[in-house]
Amino acid sequence: MMLSHIFGWNAKENCLPLEIVYGSGMRVLLIITGSIAAEKIPDLLHKLKSNGHSITCVLTRAGAEFIIPDSLERLTGNKTYTELFTGDDGKEMGHIRLSREADLVVVAPATADIMAKMAAGLADDLASTLLLATDKPVMIAPAMNVRMWENKAVQRNALILKQDGVLFIGPESGDLACGEEGWGRMSEPKQIADRVEKFFKRKDALKGLKVLVTAGPTIESIDPVRYIANRSSGKQGYAIAESLAAAGAEVTLVTGPTSLPKPHVAKIIEIESASEMLDVALKNLPADIAVMAAAVADWGIKNPAKNKMKNMPELKFTENPDILAEISKNKKKAKLVIGFAAETENLLGNAKKKLLAKKCDWILANNVGSKKVFGSNENKILFIERAHSEQWPEMSKIEVAEKLVEKIINTLGRKNEKYKVISKATA
């Protein structure tokens, strides 16, 4: 099957790389809360301004211990706001206006305190009030001590915020201002500015598209106590689900058991076995795009015991359904079917065979033998389609996800009101 048939492209256009362009001059509302990481804010403001964006700052009382409003006003050229009730700027309606005028709200640094207020829906100062009043996407860059970040209450709040659709940048692991080491360091200004750029570039690019993503391992029961499984952590599939959702797609994630926090996507269905995964995947068609990143067990146990086995069993296996192949040939088939190939040898040859046998459009092949891929934060992908393949450099699984989503956006050529997709030939 040719993609040109699906999308009705002419062959010439089909060969041309597409790129997304977007206008500068987006409006960022930057909320600065009380952390020593606020010292990095001038650098962040410089980078956001160099990218052409207009920034308005809101400073909490604790934030003002680290940076003064005058500096922020000088750097942004805009008024900085600190108080909920100031007697000017439209009085009590001021926070509504501030939160609605922005294209994006960024909280950096975001303390444990502001995260708790956001998760609980508290509004006892200007920052928390406008976070509650905003109808715009919110991105936070947490910054705190490692023990605070690992505290169950903070982790609970982080999960609530992710489920509420708040986008996270970091935190990173490293040296902390308090002298300790670990997770809790605010991402560097460049990482935050880059993330903001990516957000503006991608936002709504896949709006209106339904995507089915599979992730994690499947497990096959031997008896009620034991099972066979594989080493997949779900990291790669979850990153893809998250990136697709961030681009505006309506994502259904079908996942095997993992210990990861659930990504913020429209629907998550947890399954255990390959046959359950197939069942759920088929029930969630039609979808415009399917990305099959799950490590599906090729074989299940023929006759799993009903009770706990007392003696060493002689296991008999049965072949599991091939979910990717089923999705490819299903009548309600997705327009763009993307599989993975986990290989330990002859990566290109074996993956290409899978692409043809399973009749999918793209395969992302990774070598799971020579290097640690399962469970790690990095991956190195050989991207394969019928007539073309390209080696991607080693990068984080999040970057793999973002690169894939970029390819999907360019291929589908979706438009939204702020960004337009253009062919390089016409640029």
Residues near ligand PMT, by CB under 6 A: 214, 232-237, 274, 292-296, 298, 320, 322-324, 339-342, 354, 358, 366, 368, 373-375, 397
Of residues 191 and 350, the one with the C-beta less far from ligand PMT: 350
Q: How far is the CB of 235 from ligand PMT (least distance, A)?
A: 4
Q: Following DSSP, what letter does each residue of 42-57 receive, concatenated?
A: HHHHHHHHHTT-EEEE
CB of residue 371 to ligand PMT, shortest distance in Å: 11
**Residue closer to ligand PMT, measured from CB, 245 or 295:** 295
Reference 197, options 104, 117, 113, 102; nearest CA is 104
The pairs formed by 420-427 with CB atoms below 8 angstroms and a separation of 24 or more are 420/20, 420/21, 420/22, 421/18, 421/19, 421/20, 421/205, 422/18, 422/19, 422/20, 422/21, 423/13, 423/16, 423/18, 424/16, 424/17, 424/18, 424/19, 425/13, 425/16, 427/19, 427/21
- How far apart are alpha carbons 114 and 63 in whole angstroms? 11
Question: For 291, phi and psi rounded to 5 degrees?
Answer: -120, 110
Is 57 labeled as catalytic in the residue annotation? no
CB of 364 to ligand PMT, least distance (A): 7
d(CA 26, CA 39): 24
The interaxial angle of helices 189-202 and 397-412, nearest 10 deg, is 30
For residue 29, give the nearest of 94, 104, 134, 90 by alpha carbon.
Answer: 104
- Considering the candidates 15, 57, 178, 360, report the single residue annotated as catalytic: 178
What is the enclosing helix (H) or strand (E) of 201? helix 189-202
Q: Which is nearer to ligand PMT, 176 or 341 (CB)?
A: 341
Least Å distance, CB 217 to ligand PMT, is 7
CA distance 176 to 100: 34
What residues have CB less than 8 Å from 349, skipping those under 6 apart?
none
Q: Shortest gap between Cβ of 203 and ligand PMT (angstroms)?
A: 26
Q: How far is the CB of 372 from ligand PMT (least distance, A)?
A: 9
- 3-state secondary structure at position 117: helix
Give the position of tokens 């009590």. Answer: 92
Question: Considering beta carbons, is residue 140 or 287 the nearer one to ligand PMT?
Answer: 287
Query: Which residue, 185 or 333, has its beta carbon nearer to ligand PMT?
Result: 333
Beta bridge partners of 396: 378
Active-site positions?
A: 178
